[in-house]
């Protein structure tokens, strides 16, 4: 009753990553406010924070249902899926009262400020500094972050900085709520080969942060970061899968022409299509196993460690096959290209699947060491 069904003719199921213009964000905010008004803004949140106390399985079903409708791009997923739960676990009562309702109704967009030029997936190596000013009860932040998704439209960020350089690598880190409109915050969007600007680099120069914006104890930012990263990988694996339907790819294989016949009749392309569909189905079943484990014990099982890695591989294979089904036309961009150029954009964006949220290499290390119990790689 509130949104139109998805029209395949508009985009063929391919997402315009990084093309969120102000008008699109305004539409997303209106939609998010409508959801929040009836308790659908973040259904897994506790009822006292405006959610429905839904299970992860119900959230998965909800995401599947939303995929059938023409809803705006979800610029709120970082706040609602990752930072909101982190504030519930570690934030003060004041922080929760101030920010959670505004995350929920779309008034606040958030970003996650972890990676740095010399600290990508290794968060313990961050060098951005936080120095406490006791006279004014504030912290001064200096340093640089990079690959910050959505920083150019975000109102707030959760940032990890080093507040005790003398402490061991995994200690001496602290987490802060950062007002992205503060003096000294400079956001520079990074133009991607897909044509969008999903990622940014952020420079912090003597940025003042009130002491009340410290999340969790000082020096315990690593534990806070682990909470956020766990939410990120689960969200990417489960909700991302539900939002990647296979029907558009099948329809494309039937409608695209290859050597004068439907592409699906070509044995090589048909075999690749079947491979993507099978791996997508295996990933879906693994997701359901993870959700079942959470339902039983309240915590994801070891299979959750494979979700992010598997989803990245399926997502990039999906985009590569779409381009090959269209042939040279699949590399075209612009409004006169097939599906408004979104196939080419999806193909160009796909490598980021293997980086964001923890690189493939990091995921393999986690699986090998923490799930399979293999010895750690030798240190040089």
Q: In this structure, how many other beta carbons lie within 10 angstroms of the beta carbon of residue 379?
A: 4
SS3 string of 321-379? Answer: HHHHHHHHHHHCCCCCCHHHHHHHHHHHHHHHHHCCCCCHHHHHHHHHHHHCCCCCCCC
Angstrom distance (rounded) from CA 170 to CA 174: 10
Annotated active-site residue in 20, 108, 116, 232? 232
Angstrom distance (rounded) from CA 218 to CA 163: 8
Q: Are 346 and 352 in contact (CB under 8 A)?
A: no
Angstrom distance (rounded) from CA 283 to CA 279: 6
Is 232 labeled as catalytic in the residue annotation? Answer: yes
Angstrom distance (rounded) from CA 208 to CA 239: 35
Cα of first residue to Cα of last residue in the chain, in angstroms, is: 60
Phi, psi of 193 (to 5 degrees): -70, -15
Angstrom distance (rounded) from CA 195 to CA 211: 39
Output helix, strand, coil percentages for the chain, rounded to the nearest 5: 50, 15, 35
Which alpha helices (DSSP H) does the chain contain, by range?
8-11, 22-37, 56-66, 77-78, 84-90, 93-104, 221-242, 247-255, 267-297, 304-326, 342-349, 360-366
Partner residues linked to 162 by β-bridges: 129, 173
Distance of CA 206 to the CA centre of its chain: 28
- In the three-class reduction of DSSP (H, G, I as helix; E, B as strand; rest coil), residue 175 is classed as strand
Catalytic residues: 232
């Amino acid at each position: 009753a509130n949104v139109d069904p998805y029209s395949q003719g508009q985009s063929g199921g391919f997402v315009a990553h990084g093309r969120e213009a102000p008008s699109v964000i305004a539409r997303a905010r209106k939609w998010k406010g409508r959801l929040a008004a009836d308790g659908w803004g973040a259904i897994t949140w506790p009822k006292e924070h405006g959610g429905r106390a839904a299970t992860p399985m119900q959230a998965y079903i909800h995401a599947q249902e939303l995929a059938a409708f023409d809803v705006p791009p979800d610029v709120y997923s970082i706040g609602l899926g990752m930072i909101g739960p982190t504030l519930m676990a570690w934030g003060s009562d004041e922080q929760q009262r101030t920010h959670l309702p505004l995350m929920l109704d779309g008034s606040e967009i958030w970003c996650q400020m972890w990676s740095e030029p010399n600290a990508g997936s290794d968060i313990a190596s961050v060098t951005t500094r936080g120095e406490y000013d006791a006279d004014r009860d504030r912290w001064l932040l200096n340093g640089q972050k990079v690959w910050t998704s959505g920083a150019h439209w975000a109102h707030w960020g959760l940032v990890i900085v080093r507040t005790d350089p003398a402490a061991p690598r995994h200690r001496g880190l602290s987490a802060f709520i950062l007002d992205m409109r503060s003096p000294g915050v400079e956001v520079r969007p990074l133009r991607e080969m897909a044509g969008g600007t999903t990622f940014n680099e952020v420079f912090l120069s003597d940025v003042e942060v009130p002491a009340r914006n410290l999340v969790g104890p000082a020096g315990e930012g690593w534990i806070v970061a682990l909470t956020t990263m766990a939410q990120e990988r689960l969200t990417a694996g489960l909700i991302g899968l539900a939002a990647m339907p296979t029907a558009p790819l099948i329809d494309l294989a039937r409608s695209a022409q290859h050597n004068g016949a439907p592409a699906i009749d070509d044995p090589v392309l048909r075999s690749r299509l079947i491979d993507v569909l099978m791996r997508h189905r295996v990933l879906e079943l693994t997701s359901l196993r993870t959700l079942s484990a959470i339902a039983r014990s309240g915590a994801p099982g070891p299979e959750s460690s494979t979700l992010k890695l598997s989803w990245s591989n399926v997502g990039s294979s999906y985009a590569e096959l779409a381009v090959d089904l269209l042939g040279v036309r699949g590399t075209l961009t612009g409004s006169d290209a097939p599906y408004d150029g979104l196939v080419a954009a999806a193909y160009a964006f796909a490598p980021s699947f293997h980086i964001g949220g923890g690189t493939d290499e990091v995921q393999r290390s986690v699986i090998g060491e923490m799930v399979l119990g293999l010895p750690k790689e030798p240190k040089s």
